[in-house]
Amino acid sequence: MSHVYVHVPFCRRRCSYCDFSIAVRRDVPSAVYADTVRAEIAMLRRLGAWPSEPLATIYCGGGTPSLLAHESLRTMLRDVASSTALLDAAEITIEANPEDVTAERAAAWRAMGINRVSLGGQSFDRRVLQWMHRSHDGARITDAVSVLRRAGFTNVSLDLIFALPAELGRDWDRDLDQALGLEPDHISLYGLTVEERTPLARWISRGAAGAPDDERYAREYLHAHERLAPAGYTFYEVSNAARPGRQSRHNAAYWSGRAYTGVGPAAHSYDGRARRWNVAAWESYRQAVTAGRSPVEQEEVLTRDQQRLEALYLGLRTAGGVPASLCPPNLVATWRQQGWVDVRDGAVRCTPEGWLRLDALVGALTGHRATSQIVTAK
């Protein structure tokens, strides 16, 4: 079974913290985008690089995939899933902004085979959402979940951001209350980070916003664990919690090191040996594909050291952990005393406190940072 990621770059506006590869457009060129992705898929098929077996998962991320016109999205998905009957056992996800969720859109998504929606709520606080440059308010999140449920979606995920600057006065507990009240099947929690060339980075550089606080980050992250567990959610990965049977199968494929294929600008692919990624800019991607050229910008060939590093990092960030045989016993003993890991069923697994120190734990296990060979695509 294979996994496909489709990157949709378009957004109405850029969020204050976002450094993703997006193209801000008032009018989204849905038909042109869909035709370009279909042309890339045809190119990959000719090269024998497109999955021939049924797909286990399809994930439409971005950007804002929910901005695409129904017919364009339907046509593109038909090409993506040519070896997979829609509405079958495949997990087919679309990321959506709350303000894009209407009864008409939700019904169209279900009719074309989409069975999972990842909703970018982030917060229910109006002031916080305005600070983030989000276009919705808290009530719109509630409405969106209700619309999705009525349309028949039984797998809805909700994103929340924590560790926001103290001056915003964000009530994290209130946001968790409201999120849990909607009973989503899956919750993703992301700690605020400052990326270069974002509005947030500029605000901090001129003193208009406070930098993220490590203590606040740890406190709010651990509090989320305390709140979600009694509500029936299990953290199966450092940033993701789900009710039984509602883990993201697509993201789990990444974390277990399985191969996947990406299409669209900035999309990544991995075949178990090498990672490739497309040019990030929408126009550069469109021009390359339209001219019959590969949109791949670079290829990263993983060394054995890097494969080992990634296996340890990905394993420790999941609830499954890594085999205890890969970890020095004296190191594990120290971590257990600190409350950072548990050892069960022959595996070393991070506790929530350990997940807060994930990079340091992996660094201690490897002793150095692995390198890879970068090959510039022709």
Secondary structure (3-state) at 118: strand
Nearest to 97 by CA among 139, 56, 65, 58: 65
Specify whether the CB–CB gap between 32 and 60 falls below 8 A: no
Q: What is the pLDDT of residue 233?
A: 98
C-alpha to C-alpha distance for 373 and 269, rounded to whole angstroms = 16
What residue ranges define each of the domains in the chain, with the CATH number in brackets? 2-255 (3.20.20.70), 305-366 (no CATH)
pTM of this prediction? 0.92
Q: What is the pLDDT of residue 83?
A: 57
Q: What is the pLDDT of residue 239?
A: 97
C-alpha to C-alpha distance for 34 and 225, rounded to whole angstroms = 40
Q: What is the pLDDT of residue 86?
A: 54
Q: What is the pLDDT of residue 376?
A: 35
Could you count the other beta carbons within 10 Å of the beta carbon of residue 18?
A: 17
C-alpha to C-alpha distance for 98 and 140, rounded to whole angstroms = 6
C-alpha to C-alpha distance for 2 and 322, rounded to whole angstroms = 24
Q: Report CA-CA distances (Å) from 251 to 3, 185, 255.
A: 10, 15, 6
Q: What is the pLDDT of residue 87?
A: 53
C-alpha to C-alpha distance for 114 and 147, rounded to whole angstroms = 15
C-alpha to C-alpha distance for 257 and 254, rounded to whole angstroms = 5
Q: What is the pLDDT of residue 372?
A: 35
Q: What is the pLDDT of residue 129?
A: 93
Secondary structure (3-state) at 295: coil
Residues of the chain with pLDDT under 50: 368-378
Q: What is the pLDDT of residue 52?
A: 85
C-alpha to C-alpha distance for 267 and 261, rounded to whole angstroms = 8
Beta strand spans in 212-280 (E): 234-237, 240-242, 261-263, 268-270, 274-278
Q: What is the pLDDT of residue 282?
A: 96
